Amino acid sequence: MIGYGRQSISQEDIDTVVDVLNSNSLTQGPVVNAFEKALADKCQSKHALAVCNGTAALHLACLALEIEKDDLVWVSSVSFVASANCAKYCGAEVSFVDIDPNSGLICTTELAQKLKNAENNGLLPKALIVVHLAGQSCDMKTISSLCQQYDIKIIEDACHALGGQYESKPIGSCQYSDISVFSFHPVKPITSGEGGALLTNKKELANRARLYANHGIVRDEEKLQHSTQGPWYYEMQALGYNYRLTDLQAALGLSQLKRLTDFTLKRNQIAKLYTDALESMKLPFQHLQQSIGQISAYHLYVVRQSSHLSQSQLFKRMHEQGIGCQLHYIPIFMHPYYAASTDAQSFPGALEYYHSALSLPLFPDMDEKTIHKVLNVLSNCCR
């Protein structure tokens, strides 16, 4: 079975992890700090915090922005559920923003109208979580301009987008947001096995996130609330979590980060082969619309289909012939947990996207033979 995504592990990756296994620090050692610094440098951000997964990073982003019980957070309607759950963990209420079905990204026209309605009703959100679906950045300049009018904080869920660029700057630079979040799950642009990161240019947000990531514990003598009682002394100053990344994971992430530019280039080359072939073969599939001048990380290659087959029929035929396509994602508001409080018909863009989207296999180690097999199976399925 050709899966929709797969990690690429080199001998250097393996050797780097083995070096840590042979060291004195498997966790809470120097490699995590090195990974954080390299990540901040790569993304041109001032602060980076590496954590155990992308969901933890999203939760920490909400905690750092002091999202609390009864606050309101808006979230892109099409994403993995973690994009909304992170606000619920803090006790906040969640509302969704519709997407443009042609790109899968937040529709700025819908966002502007929703903000006007919210202002009139006194229901403005404290924060907006935008999702760079499939690796392409949302229109952050417009989104930032809209949110600044109402003093709304912005979290970029960039879990798909490490390696991409927006306005010639790396995604993760936080040029138009308060915090950016990445995931290092095996199918993401780079992997640390599991893992994630929070990036920000604001020191106070970085410090608050780091506090919550480590049980709420402080060891730095300058930050203690009471006089130190000895070199062993530490204080728990907040109810935190154990969201730390191990040195083993950080070593793999650090090694993979060196390959990010090559990974991104290869993903874009594969995406172009797909796009050109779909057009030349005249298949009933349309690639997600891409913004001119931006660089997608191409975590996913999503097409929208208009064939005579239903999604389930196409999905079944592809899997029967060894092609592990997937659907990213079921709109969050359609899940039972959220459905009771959400009118699905209020999000026509998300519904249109959901009923036509399909993710084709894309990963850096794909060769042209594999790409052609995917395309031939896709063509045969539509006959």
Confidence label for 315 from pLDDT (cuts 50, 70 and 90): very high
What's the pLDDT at 133? 98
Residue 98 and residue 60 in one domain = yes
For residue 263, pLDDT beyond 90: yes
Residue 207 and residue 292 in one domain = no
pLDDT (mean) for 149-173: 98
Residue 214 and residue 265 in one domain = no
With contact defined as beta carbons under 8 Å apart, do 192 and 245 qualify?
yes
Residue 60 and residue 151 in one domain = yes
CATH of the domain at 17: 3.40.640.10
Q: What angle do CA 188, 194, 199 make, to 5 degrees?
A: 70
- What tens digit of pLDDT does each residue of 15-60 get? 999 999 999 999 999 999 999 999 999 999 999 999 999 999 999 9
What's the pLDDT at 67? 98
By residue range, what is the domain housing residue 168?
Answer: 2-256
Q: How far apart are CA 59 and CA 83, in angstroms?
A: 9
Of 202, 229, 256, the residue that ends a domain is 256
- What tens digit of pLDDT does each residue of 57-73 get? 999 999 999 999 999 99
Residue 236 and residue 362 in one domain = no
What six digits make up the tokens of 213? 């990531």
Give just the sign of the alpha carbon dihedral 339, 198, 329, 286. positive
Residue 41 and residue 113 in one domain = yes
- What tens digit of pLDDT does each residue of 284-310 get? 999 999 999 999 999 999 999 998 888
Confidence label for 279 from pLDDT (cuts 50, 70 and 90): very high
For residue 383, pLDDT beyond 90: no
For residue 319, pLDDT beyond 90: yes
Residue 192 and residue 206 in one domain = yes
- What tens digit of pLDDT does each residue of 323-359 get? 999 999 999 999 999 999 999 999 999 999 999 999 9
What's the pLDDT at 382? 87
Residue 240 and residue 271 in one domain = no
Give just the sign of the alpha carbon dihedral 295, 301, 304, 307. positive
Q: How many CB atoms lie within 10 A of CB 214?
A: 20
Q: How far apart are CA 130 and CA 211, in angstroms?
A: 24
Number of domain units in the chain: 2
CA distances from residue 307 to 94, 143, 277, 379 in whole angstroms, order as listed:
35, 34, 16, 10
Residue 112 and residue 19 in one domain = yes
For residue 76, pLDDT beyond 90: yes
Residue 222 and residue 321 in one domain = no
Q: How far apart are CA 300 and CA 361, in angstroms?
A: 8
Of 214, 241, 256, the residue that ends a domain is 256
Percent of the chain with pLDDT over 70: 100
Residue 183 bridge partners (DSSP): 196
Q: How far apart are CA 308 and CA 284, in angstroms?
A: 9
Residue 28 and residue 163 in one domain = yes
- What tens digit of pLDDT does each residue of 185-242 get? 999 999 999 999 999 999 999 999 999 999 999 999 989 999 999 999 999 999 999 9
CATH of the domain at 308: 3.90.1150.10
Residue 307 and residue 335 in one domain = yes
Q: How far apart are CA 217 and CA 235, in angstroms?
A: 5
